[in-house]
Amino acid sequence: MSVVLVDAGGTNIGSVRYALQRLGVDAALTADAATIRAADKVILPGVGAAGPGMARLRELGLVDVLRSLEQPVLGVCLGMQLLCSHSEEGDTECLGLIPAPVRRFAEGPGLRVPHMGWNRLSVQRPHPLLVGLGDDDQAYFVHSYAVPVDDFTLASTDHAGEFSAIVARGNFHGMQFHPERSAAVGARLLKNFLSL
């Protein structure tokens, strides 16, 4: 099985790659369109802001490549947000593969933005990506923007209200948290993705 990490400049690429190595998968880091198209699985990691993230994908000529993929694709953190239609962060048009908006958390008394820390995942509907996920399982989040719960939400969590933790539409999947930093739960979810 060939797995590629899209080299979109995310600072979490090394930790995602190491998490995959622990699962016995050596994922190639690439920005080459042909390599991405030929892969069995594609992961779009990302840490940073939506505007620069999309600008990098445009510079690399990867926007249409990503939109055309038919194999399983996983967006992680900012990578998940880039799969969506639009981000309030910099008023950024994203890939539009999951027709959902990305909105900034509302700040208020006792609400920290960015949201950082461990949150419980609440399954919204069954999906092969969630096999083995329990009611008390938690994942590690670091973000200031989130996708509201909608028809594409597989699992949600809560910070200043409920939001999407895991989304899917067709072959496109996203995890708002960092599976590579979410211990056994993250490893299980990555393994589930590799089994899709």
Say whether 93 is catalytic. Answer: no
Q: Where are the beta strands (DSSP E) in 20-111?
A: 28-30, 41-44, 73-76, 84-87, 92-93, 98-104
Domain segments of the chain as ranges: 3-195
Q: Residue range 125-131: average pLDDT?
A: 97
Superfamily of domain 3-195: Class I glutamine amidotransferase (GATase) domain (3.40.50.880)
Q: What confidence score (pLDDT) does residue 10 get?
A: 66
Q: Is the pLDDT of residue 11 over 70?
A: no
Q: What confidence score (pLDDT) does residue 107 get?
A: 82
Largest CA distance in the chain: 49
pLDDT in tens, 94-118: 999 999 999 999 888 888 899 999 9
Q: What confidence score (pLDDT) does residue 135 get?
A: 84
Q: Residue range 33-52: average pLDDT?
A: 95
Q: Residue range 70-87: average pLDDT?
A: 97
Catalytic residue among 89, 143, 159, 180: 180
Catalytic residue among 59, 70, 77, 159: 77
CB atoms within 10 A of CB 117: 11
With cut-offs at 50, 70 and 90, classify the pLDDT of residue 174: very high
Q: Is the pLDDT of residue 43 over 80?
A: yes
Q: Is the pLDDT of residue 175 over 80?
A: yes
Say whether 94 is catalytic. Answer: no
Alpha helix positions (H), 43-90: 50-59, 63-67, 78-83
Q: Is the pLDDT of residue 9 over 90?
A: no
Say whether 77 is catalytic. Answer: yes
Q: Which residues pair with 6 in a beta bridge?
A: 30
